[in-house]
Structure 1
Amino acid sequence: MRVLVFGDVHGNLIALEKLFKIEKDSYDQFVCHGDIVNYGPWTNECLEFLSQQENGVFLKGNHEEYYLEKYYPGSNEVAKSFFDFCIPQFDDKFIPTISKFEKNHSIGNFKITHSIEGLYIFKDTNIENLNFEDNTIVGHSHQQFHRVNNGKNLYNTGSLGQNRALLDVANYLIVDTEKNTVELKSFIFDIQKVISKMELSTYPSICLNYYKSKNTINK
Protein backbone atom coordinates (compact mmCIF):
# COMPACT_ATOMS: atom_id res chain seq x y z
CA MET A 1 0.00 0.00 0.00
CA ARG A 2 1.23 3.48 -0.87
CA VAL A 3 0.40 6.14 1.70
CA LEU A 4 0.63 9.88 1.13
CA VAL A 5 1.66 11.59 4.38
CA PHE A 6 1.62 15.36 4.88
CA GLY A 7 0.69 18.05 7.36
CA ASP A 8 1.22 21.62 8.50
CA VAL A 9 -0.97 22.82 5.64
CA HIS A 10 -1.81 26.00 7.55
CA GLY A 11 -4.58 27.30 5.34
CA ASN A 12 -2.57 27.05 2.12
CA LEU A 13 -5.09 25.86 -0.46
CA ILE A 14 -2.70 26.56 -3.34
CA ALA A 15 -0.17 23.99 -2.11
CA LEU A 16 -2.86 21.53 -0.99
CA GLU A 17 -4.63 21.42 -4.35
CA LYS A 18 -1.33 21.08 -6.18
CA LEU A 19 -0.34 18.14 -3.97
CA PHE A 20 -3.45 16.19 -4.87
CA LYS A 21 -3.04 17.07 -8.53
CA ILE A 22 0.58 15.83 -8.54
CA GLU A 23 -0.13 12.64 -6.61
CA LYS A 24 -3.50 11.83 -8.17
CA ASP A 25 -3.96 8.06 -8.49
CA SER A 26 -0.49 7.43 -6.99
CA TYR A 27 -1.59 6.52 -3.45
CA ASP A 28 -4.03 4.15 -1.75
CA GLN A 29 -4.54 6.20 1.39
CA PHE A 30 -3.49 9.58 2.72
CA VAL A 31 -2.71 10.64 6.27
CA CYS A 32 -2.74 14.30 7.26
CA HIS A 33 -0.89 14.65 10.55
CA GLY A 34 -2.49 17.92 11.60
CA ASP A 35 -2.25 21.70 11.54
CA ILE A 36 -4.55 22.16 8.57
CA VAL A 37 -5.76 25.38 10.16
CA ASN A 38 -4.41 28.88 10.91
CA TYR A 39 -1.88 31.24 9.31
CA GLY A 40 -2.92 31.00 5.65
CA PRO A 41 -6.13 32.51 4.24
CA TRP A 42 -8.00 29.31 3.37
CA THR A 43 -8.50 27.31 6.58
CA ASN A 44 -12.17 26.59 5.87
CA GLU A 45 -11.51 25.79 2.22
CA CYS A 46 -8.69 23.39 3.09
CA LEU A 47 -10.91 21.53 5.56
CA GLU A 48 -13.69 21.37 2.96
CA PHE A 49 -11.32 20.20 0.23
CA LEU A 50 -9.85 17.42 2.36
CA SER A 51 -13.28 16.27 3.48
CA GLN A 52 -14.09 15.59 -0.17
CA GLN A 53 -11.05 13.37 -0.74
CA GLU A 54 -11.39 9.61 -0.35
CA ASN A 55 -9.40 7.27 1.89
CA GLY A 56 -8.11 9.88 4.29
CA VAL A 57 -7.02 9.72 7.93
CA PHE A 58 -6.76 12.94 9.94
CA LEU A 59 -4.65 13.60 13.01
CA LYS A 60 -4.94 16.53 15.38
CA GLY A 61 -2.15 19.10 15.52
CA ASN A 62 -1.56 21.78 18.11
CA HIS A 63 -3.32 24.37 15.96
CA GLU A 64 -6.49 22.26 15.82
CA GLU A 65 -6.29 22.21 19.62
CA TYR A 66 -6.03 26.01 19.67
CA TYR A 67 -9.02 26.32 17.36
CA LEU A 68 -11.13 23.98 19.47
CA GLU A 69 -10.23 25.95 22.60
CA LYS A 70 -10.39 29.26 20.71
CA TYR A 71 -7.27 30.27 22.56
CA TYR A 72 -3.60 30.58 21.63
CA PRO A 73 -1.50 29.81 24.73
CA GLY A 74 1.85 31.06 23.46
CA SER A 75 3.62 34.41 23.79
CA ASN A 76 5.04 34.76 20.27
CA GLU A 77 3.75 38.09 18.97
CA VAL A 78 3.64 37.02 15.31
CA ALA A 79 1.87 33.73 16.03
CA LYS A 80 -0.61 35.48 18.31
CA SER A 81 -1.37 38.06 15.64
CA PHE A 82 -2.05 35.32 13.10
CA PHE A 83 -4.32 33.49 15.52
CA ASP A 84 -6.23 36.62 16.55
CA PHE A 85 -6.86 37.47 12.90
CA CYS A 86 -7.64 33.95 11.65
CA ILE A 87 -9.83 32.51 14.40
CA PRO A 88 -12.81 34.87 13.69
CA GLN A 89 -12.74 33.66 10.08
CA PHE A 90 -13.05 30.02 11.15
CA ASP A 91 -16.40 28.40 10.37
CA ASP A 92 -17.65 26.67 13.52
CA LYS A 93 -19.35 24.03 11.40
CA PHE A 94 -15.91 22.36 11.25
CA ILE A 95 -15.62 22.01 15.04
CA PRO A 96 -17.19 18.51 15.05
CA THR A 97 -14.87 17.56 12.20
CA ILE A 98 -11.60 18.53 13.85
CA SER A 99 -12.82 17.24 17.22
CA LYS A 100 -12.82 13.75 15.74
CA PHE A 101 -9.24 13.94 14.46
CA GLU A 102 -7.10 11.17 15.93
CA LYS A 103 -3.90 11.57 17.99
CA ASN A 104 -1.84 9.04 16.03
CA HIS A 105 -2.15 6.42 13.33
CA SER A 106 -0.10 3.38 12.36
CA ILE A 107 0.72 2.18 8.84
CA GLY A 108 2.97 -0.79 8.23
CA ASN A 109 5.72 -0.53 10.83
CA PHE A 110 5.39 3.25 11.17
CA LYS A 111 3.57 5.34 13.75
CA ILE A 112 2.41 8.75 12.53
CA THR A 113 1.74 11.60 14.95
CA HIS A 114 1.91 15.38 14.79
CA SER A 115 4.76 15.64 17.27
CA ILE A 116 6.55 13.73 20.00
CA GLU A 117 5.59 15.21 23.36
CA GLY A 118 4.84 18.52 21.64
CA LEU A 119 8.52 19.07 20.83
CA TYR A 120 9.89 20.87 17.78
CA ILE A 121 12.37 18.38 16.32
CA PHE A 122 14.86 19.62 13.74
CA LYS A 123 17.68 18.10 11.69
CA ASP A 124 20.18 18.93 14.43
CA THR A 125 18.04 18.23 17.52
CA ASN A 126 19.52 15.76 19.98
CA ILE A 127 17.11 12.82 19.68
CA GLU A 128 18.93 10.30 21.86
CA ASN A 129 16.57 10.82 24.79
CA LEU A 130 13.37 11.14 22.78
CA ASN A 131 10.65 8.66 23.60
CA PHE A 132 9.91 6.90 20.32
CA GLU A 133 9.95 3.12 20.39
CA ASP A 134 8.61 2.71 16.86
CA ASN A 135 9.63 3.97 13.46
CA THR A 136 7.93 7.35 13.62
CA ILE A 137 6.72 10.07 11.25
CA VAL A 138 6.07 13.56 12.61
CA GLY A 139 5.66 17.15 11.48
CA HIS A 140 5.33 20.28 13.64
CA SER A 141 8.80 21.77 13.07
CA HIS A 142 8.20 22.50 9.36
CA GLN A 143 11.57 20.96 8.48
CA GLN A 144 11.89 17.79 6.40
CA PHE A 145 14.43 15.18 7.41
CA HIS A 146 15.22 11.51 8.06
CA ARG A 147 17.18 10.48 11.13
CA VAL A 148 17.99 7.20 12.85
CA ASN A 149 18.39 6.55 16.57
CA ASN A 150 18.86 3.16 18.23
CA GLY A 151 17.85 1.44 15.01
CA LYS A 152 14.57 3.34 14.76
CA ASN A 153 13.75 5.72 11.91
CA LEU A 154 12.43 9.20 12.57
CA TYR A 155 10.99 11.09 9.61
CA ASN A 156 9.64 14.61 9.50
CA THR A 157 7.37 15.32 6.54
CA GLY A 158 8.23 18.99 6.56
CA SER A 159 5.41 21.48 6.00
CA LEU A 160 3.08 21.37 3.03
CA GLY A 161 1.95 24.96 3.38
CA GLN A 162 4.46 26.95 5.41
CA ASN A 163 8.05 25.86 4.85
CA ARG A 164 10.02 28.19 7.10
CA ALA A 165 13.26 27.87 5.12
CA LEU A 166 11.91 28.24 1.57
CA LEU A 167 8.31 29.43 1.76
CA ASP A 168 7.34 28.35 -1.76
CA VAL A 169 8.50 24.74 -1.33
CA ALA A 170 5.94 22.17 -0.16
CA ASN A 171 7.15 18.99 1.57
CA TYR A 172 5.54 15.59 2.11
CA LEU A 173 6.27 11.84 2.15
CA ILE A 174 5.19 8.70 0.35
CA VAL A 175 5.32 5.50 2.41
CA ASP A 176 5.24 2.15 0.62
CA THR A 177 4.26 -0.44 3.23
CA GLU A 178 4.99 -3.41 0.95
CA LYS A 179 8.47 -2.26 -0.03
CA ASN A 180 9.02 -0.74 3.43
CA THR A 181 10.32 2.49 1.90
CA VAL A 182 9.79 6.17 2.62
CA GLU A 183 10.32 8.78 -0.07
CA LEU A 184 10.86 12.42 0.89
CA LYS A 185 9.20 14.59 -1.73
CA SER A 186 8.65 18.27 -2.48
CA PHE A 187 7.40 20.68 -5.13
CA ILE A 188 7.36 24.43 -5.76
CA PHE A 189 4.12 26.42 -5.77
CA ASP A 190 3.19 30.07 -6.34
CA ILE A 191 3.51 31.66 -2.90
CA GLN A 192 2.58 35.06 -4.32
CA LYS A 193 -0.99 33.82 -4.76
CA VAL A 194 -1.09 33.14 -1.03
CA ILE A 195 0.36 36.52 -0.11
CA SER A 196 -1.97 38.33 -2.51
CA LYS A 197 -4.97 36.64 -0.90
CA MET A 198 -3.68 37.62 2.53
CA GLU A 199 -3.39 41.23 1.37
CA LEU A 200 -6.94 41.17 -0.01
CA SER A 201 -8.11 39.72 3.29
CA THR A 202 -6.40 42.63 5.11
CA TYR A 203 -4.10 40.59 7.31
CA PRO A 204 -2.18 42.69 9.87
CA SER A 205 1.15 44.06 8.69
CA ILE A 206 3.06 41.91 11.17
CA CYS A 207 1.61 38.79 9.51
CA LEU A 208 2.18 39.97 5.95
CA ASN A 209 5.74 41.00 6.74
CA TYR A 210 6.40 37.57 8.23
CA TYR A 211 5.51 35.88 4.94
CA LYS A 212 7.19 38.51 2.76
CA SER A 213 10.45 38.27 4.74
CA LYS A 214 10.86 34.54 4.15
CA ASN A 215 13.24 33.15 1.56
CA THR A 216 11.86 31.41 -1.50
CA ILE A 217 13.43 29.11 -4.08
CA ASN A 218 13.57 32.04 -6.50
CA LYS A 219 14.90 34.63 -4.04
Structure 2
Amino acid sequence: MLNKALVPALLLAAGAAHAEGLPGVTDGAGPNLVIEVADTAGTAKGRIVLDLYSDKAPKHVERLLSLAKSGAYDGVVFHRVIDGFMAQTGDVEFGKHGADTARAGMGGSSMPDLPAEFNDVSFQRGTVGMARSQDPNSANSQFFIDLAPAEFLDGQYTVVGQLVDGWDVLNAIKKGDPAANGSVVEPDYMVKVTVTE
Protein backbone atom coordinates (compact mmCIF):
# COMPACT_ATOMS: atom_id res chain seq x y z
CA MET A 1 0.00 0.00 0.00
CA LEU A 2 1.22 3.53 -0.76
CA ASN A 3 2.27 5.77 2.10
CA LYS A 4 -0.77 7.87 2.96
CA ALA A 5 1.27 10.48 4.80
CA LEU A 6 1.09 14.04 3.57
CA VAL A 7 3.77 14.79 1.01
CA PRO A 8 6.88 15.48 3.13
CA ALA A 9 7.73 18.64 1.20
CA LEU A 10 4.61 20.25 2.66
CA LEU A 11 6.08 20.90 6.08
CA LEU A 12 5.89 24.69 6.19
CA ALA A 13 3.18 26.33 8.27
CA ALA A 14 2.98 29.42 10.37
CA GLY A 15 0.68 31.39 12.64
CA ALA A 16 -2.58 30.37 14.25
CA ALA A 17 -6.12 31.50 13.58
CA HIS A 18 -9.63 30.24 14.00
CA ALA A 19 -11.59 29.23 10.91
CA GLU A 20 -14.82 30.92 11.97
CA GLY A 21 -16.11 33.34 9.36
CA LEU A 22 -13.91 32.05 6.56
CA PRO A 23 -15.42 31.50 3.11
CA GLY A 24 -16.78 28.01 2.61
CA VAL A 25 -16.97 27.07 6.30
CA THR A 26 -20.38 25.63 7.21
CA ASP A 27 -22.43 26.31 10.32
CA GLY A 28 -21.42 23.44 12.63
CA ALA A 29 -24.68 21.54 12.30
CA GLY A 30 -22.98 18.14 12.10
CA PRO A 31 -22.66 15.27 11.83
CA ASN A 32 -19.85 15.33 14.37
CA LEU A 33 -17.05 12.94 15.30
CA VAL A 34 -16.40 12.91 19.05
CA ILE A 35 -12.88 11.63 19.76
CA GLU A 36 -11.68 10.64 23.23
CA VAL A 37 -7.89 11.07 23.34
CA ALA A 38 -5.43 9.36 25.70
CA ASP A 39 -1.68 9.14 26.03
CA THR A 40 0.23 5.92 25.43
CA ALA A 41 -0.27 4.84 29.07
CA GLY A 42 -4.04 5.19 28.67
CA THR A 43 -4.37 8.39 30.70
CA ALA A 44 -7.27 10.46 29.37
CA LYS A 45 -6.29 13.79 27.80
CA GLY A 46 -9.82 14.90 26.93
CA ARG A 47 -11.99 14.98 23.85
CA ILE A 48 -12.12 16.78 20.56
CA VAL A 49 -15.20 17.31 18.43
CA LEU A 50 -14.99 17.52 14.65
CA ASP A 51 -17.86 19.02 12.67
CA LEU A 52 -18.03 17.21 9.32
CA TYR A 53 -19.00 18.90 6.06
CA SER A 54 -21.35 16.47 4.32
CA ASP A 55 -22.23 19.17 1.81
CA LYS A 56 -18.59 19.81 0.84
CA ALA A 57 -17.16 16.26 0.72
CA PRO A 58 -20.03 13.76 0.94
CA LYS A 59 -18.08 10.61 -0.01
CA HIS A 60 -15.22 11.35 2.38
CA VAL A 61 -17.57 12.23 5.23
CA GLU A 62 -19.55 9.04 4.66
CA ARG A 63 -16.29 7.07 4.87
CA LEU A 64 -15.33 8.72 8.18
CA LEU A 65 -18.79 8.09 9.61
CA SER A 66 -18.80 4.47 8.46
CA LEU A 67 -15.38 3.75 9.98
CA ALA A 68 -16.30 5.51 13.24
CA LYS A 69 -19.64 3.70 13.57
CA SER A 70 -17.96 0.33 12.97
CA GLY A 71 -15.39 1.01 15.71
CA ALA A 72 -12.49 0.94 13.24
CA TYR A 73 -11.02 4.20 14.59
CA ASP A 74 -11.07 3.08 18.23
CA GLY A 75 -7.51 2.64 19.46
CA VAL A 76 -5.83 4.27 16.45
CA VAL A 77 -2.74 6.39 17.17
CA PHE A 78 -1.80 9.92 16.13
CA HIS A 79 1.21 8.57 14.26
CA ARG A 80 2.44 11.82 12.69
CA VAL A 81 2.27 15.12 14.55
CA ILE A 82 4.27 18.16 13.43
CA ASP A 83 4.33 21.15 15.77
CA GLY A 84 3.00 24.22 13.97
CA PHE A 85 1.47 22.11 11.19
CA MET A 86 -0.88 19.19 11.88
CA ALA A 87 -1.79 15.99 13.77
CA GLN A 88 -2.46 12.91 11.60
CA THR A 89 -4.31 9.72 12.54
CA GLY A 90 -6.75 7.21 11.08
CA ASP A 91 -4.52 4.35 9.87
CA VAL A 92 -6.91 1.55 10.82
CA GLU A 93 -4.60 -1.06 9.25
CA PHE A 94 -1.21 -0.32 10.83
CA GLY A 95 -1.96 2.28 13.50
CA LYS A 96 -3.56 0.39 16.39
CA HIS A 97 -2.36 1.34 19.87
CA GLY A 98 -0.61 -1.55 21.61
CA ALA A 99 0.46 -3.15 18.32
CA ASP A 100 3.58 -2.57 16.24
CA THR A 101 2.98 0.87 14.70
CA ALA A 102 6.24 1.04 12.74
CA ARG A 103 4.21 1.06 9.50
CA ALA A 104 1.56 3.51 10.74
CA GLY A 105 0.83 5.97 7.96
CA MET A 106 1.16 3.38 5.18
CA GLY A 107 -2.22 1.71 5.56
CA GLY A 108 -5.90 2.28 5.17
CA SER A 109 -9.19 0.44 5.43
CA SER A 110 -10.36 -2.51 3.36
CA MET A 111 -12.62 -0.14 1.41
CA PRO A 112 -11.51 1.36 -1.92
CA ASP A 113 -9.69 4.68 -2.12
CA LEU A 114 -11.84 7.76 -2.70
CA PRO A 115 -11.85 10.24 -5.59
CA ALA A 116 -10.82 13.75 -4.51
CA GLU A 117 -13.57 16.15 -3.45
CA PHE A 118 -11.64 19.42 -3.43
CA ASN A 119 -13.81 22.31 -2.26
CA ASP A 120 -13.77 26.01 -1.36
CA VAL A 121 -12.83 25.60 2.32
CA SER A 122 -9.35 26.88 3.16
CA PHE A 123 -7.00 24.96 5.46
CA GLN A 124 -6.87 26.96 8.71
CA ARG A 125 -6.28 26.14 12.37
CA GLY A 126 -8.53 23.19 13.24
CA THR A 127 -9.39 22.30 9.63
CA VAL A 128 -9.79 18.55 9.08
CA GLY A 129 -8.40 17.14 5.83
CA MET A 130 -7.99 13.69 4.33
CA ALA A 131 -4.45 12.35 4.04
CA ARG A 132 -3.41 10.69 0.80
CA SER A 133 -0.41 9.60 -1.25
CA GLN A 134 0.80 11.66 -4.22
CA ASP A 135 -2.26 10.41 -6.14
CA PRO A 136 -5.07 12.94 -5.47
CA ASN A 137 -7.59 10.08 -5.60
CA SER A 138 -5.98 7.92 -2.91
CA ALA A 139 -7.57 9.09 0.37
CA ASN A 140 -8.96 6.17 2.36
CA SER A 141 -9.15 6.29 6.17
CA GLN A 142 -6.43 8.64 7.38
CA PHE A 143 -7.14 12.25 8.25
CA PHE A 144 -5.32 15.19 9.81
CA ILE A 145 -6.24 18.24 11.89
CA ASP A 146 -4.33 21.46 11.27
CA LEU A 147 -2.56 23.03 14.24
CA ALA A 148 -2.03 26.26 12.27
CA PRO A 149 -3.17 27.78 8.97
CA ALA A 150 -1.93 25.79 5.96
CA GLU A 151 -3.36 27.48 2.88
CA PHE A 152 -0.68 25.82 0.74
CA LEU A 153 -2.83 22.66 1.03
CA ASP A 154 -5.89 24.38 -0.50
CA GLY A 155 -7.06 22.55 -3.61
CA GLN A 156 -4.54 19.75 -2.99
CA TYR A 157 -6.28 17.84 -0.18
CA THR A 158 -9.97 17.30 0.54
CA VAL A 159 -11.33 19.33 3.46
CA VAL A 160 -13.87 17.26 5.42
CA GLY A 161 -14.55 19.35 8.51
CA GLN A 162 -13.47 21.61 11.35
CA LEU A 163 -12.56 21.10 14.98
CA VAL A 164 -15.25 22.86 17.03
CA ASP A 165 -14.38 21.77 20.57
CA GLY A 166 -11.26 20.59 22.37
CA TRP A 167 -8.62 23.05 21.17
CA ASP A 168 -6.60 22.45 24.34
CA VAL A 169 -6.66 18.69 23.73
CA LEU A 170 -5.61 19.11 20.09
CA ASN A 171 -2.70 21.32 21.11
CA ALA A 172 -1.64 18.82 23.80
CA ILE A 173 -1.38 15.82 21.44
CA LYS A 174 2.18 14.49 21.64
CA LYS A 175 4.38 15.93 18.90
CA GLY A 176 6.72 13.91 16.73
CA ASP A 177 10.33 14.40 15.73
CA PRO A 178 10.63 17.04 12.97
CA ALA A 179 13.74 15.25 11.70
CA ALA A 180 11.63 12.10 11.23
CA ASN A 181 8.79 13.84 9.34
CA GLY A 182 6.76 14.10 12.54
CA SER A 183 6.83 10.39 13.42
CA VAL A 184 5.76 9.99 17.05
CA VAL A 185 7.37 7.58 19.52
CA GLU A 186 4.79 6.24 22.03
CA PRO A 187 2.01 8.27 20.41
CA ASP A 188 -1.28 9.45 21.86
CA TYR A 189 -4.32 7.67 20.46
CA MET A 190 -8.07 7.82 19.85
CA VAL A 191 -9.56 5.68 22.62
CA LYS A 192 -13.12 5.89 21.28
CA VAL A 193 -14.63 7.67 18.29
CA THR A 194 -18.40 8.19 18.25
CA VAL A 195 -20.81 9.96 15.91
CA THR A 196 -23.44 12.53 16.84
CA GLU A 197 -25.88 13.73 14.19
Give the TM-score band, short-chain normalised: 0.3 to 0.5
Larger radius of gyration: 1
TM-score, normalization by structure 1? 0.31
TM-score, normalization by structure 2? 0.33
